[in-house]
Structure 1
Amino acid sequence: MSTGKMEWQSLRRVVTSNDENGRSRVLIDGSAAKLIALEEAGLAEIWSAELSEKRLFDASDRLSDIDLALEPEAGTVKVRWFSVAPDDEEKTTEELEAAAAFAFGAVDASHCRVDTSRHPMMHKTDSLDVIILVKGAVDMLLDDDEATSLKPGDVVIQRATNHAWVNKGKETALLVAVLINVKN
């Protein structure tokens, strides 16, 4: 029976590489490079790389050298897991706003909160994001629209739009995000 709680330690990342002879091998087989979580909501970094052929063959784990941040740096791709906890209807608007401000501040993304009038977690990044729902269910709120009842296997292509993820269910939702910042 699922408790609905996010078990970050059970998530596994496997990164491949080529050795000096061009033979494929496993470079990393383990947990997330970095994790930030508060209760059931959080994000865990899997991989980050420059959008270049040179970086494709670099065997270093770039995440160990950079601070945890919501947005990928210019000219990079970032891959991560993130979770969305079920809504807590007992929290006041002020408590939700304070939690959102703290969460975005913790990942250097306070500037991404451009219009939170619809929901405290609304944010906009300058990236093309491919989001895949792995577990649970979520709704994606937009300024004037929404995509409801997203289920495991659903994919969202989020193109630098103001949005928020909302979980009206009982189970913490797990998603995988590929964020691409094409700016040089």
Structure 2
Amino acid sequence: MARLIVTAHRNGKSSVGLDQSIPAKPFVSVPGFDPTLIWGTLATPSVPWDGSNVAAGGRTVLPDAGGTKLMKVTFPPDSVMTSSDFDPAAAGAEYMSRLPGLAEQFEPESPGMHTTDTVDYGILMDGEITLELDDGKAVALQPGDIVVQNGTRHAWRNGGSRPATLIFVLIGARRRNA
């Protein structure tokens, strides 16, 4: 289980303001898929830390322009979604419930493909995964690889036999006309 440590100021000195475990909460309808929203900041964060976490109880998992969200996502092998007992309707409902704001960005006609108004820093921590782009390019990642995803249409594909875990920092952006 992962752990979250947040520093703070106490009596003019740096201290630990929060030290807690980050529990796994995998989807029921997509076994092994575990997206965990960990932390968030406003567009203009302030220090010292005031004890709040923008990620807690928000209307969307996506940050507002200039804000940030920190997520840990474990992707199961794609075979989970292609198995005969996979229920796409149940998965869709769970996505809408657990990932508001992001779930609506997924394209029903192209499963997994989505576009968000964010700059995402993604770091593959464990496993192997492929970043698929809409120009047909597929980029295979190994642990330690880093992706800077600039609001482009993309999908994550796990063609392997074991889960892949990524850490994402999402930075809210304003989309301009290209």
TM-score bucket (shorter structure)? 0.7 to 0.9
Give the alignment's TM-score, normalised by structure 1: 0.78
Question: CA separation in 2, counterparts of 1:29 and 1:85?
Answer: 28
Equivalent residue, structure 2, for 1:111? 104
Q: Which amino acid aligns with 1:29?
A: D
Distance 1:100 1:141, change over 3 A: farther
Residue in 2 that maps onto 1:143: 134
Q: Is the 8 A contact 2:70 2:170 kept in 1?
A: yes
Distance 2:68 2:171 in 1: 4
Q: Percent identity at matched positions?
A: 29
TM-score, normalising length from structure 2? Answer: 0.80
Contact 2:7 2:17 in 1 (8 A): yes
- Take 1:122 and 1:100, find their aligned partners in 2: how far apart are those partners? 15
Alignment of 1:51 onto 2:43? yes
Q: CA RMSD in A?
A: 2.6
Q: 1:14 to 1:147 in 2, by over 3 A?
A: farther
Report the Cα offset of residue 63 of structure 1: 4.5
- Secondary structure in 1 matching 2:131: strand
Unaligned runs of 5+ in 2: none
Change (3 A) 1:164 1:98: farther
Aligned length: 168
Shift of 1:166: 0.8
Distance 2:104 2:55 in 1: 24
From the two aligned structures, give the one with the greater helix fraction.
Answer: 1
Q: Which runs of 5+ in 1 are unaligned?
A: 1-9
Residues 68 and 136 (structure 1 numbering): CA distance in 2 closer, same or farther, change over 3 Å?
farther
Residues 68/131 of structure 1: CA separation in 2 closer, same or farther (3 Å cut): farther
1:110, distance to aligned residue in structure 2 (A): 3.7
Secondary structure of 1:62's counterpart equals coil
Distance 2:163 2:68 in 1: 26
Q: 2:148 aligns with which of 137, 157, 173?
A: 157
Q: Which amino acid aligns with 1:51?
A: A
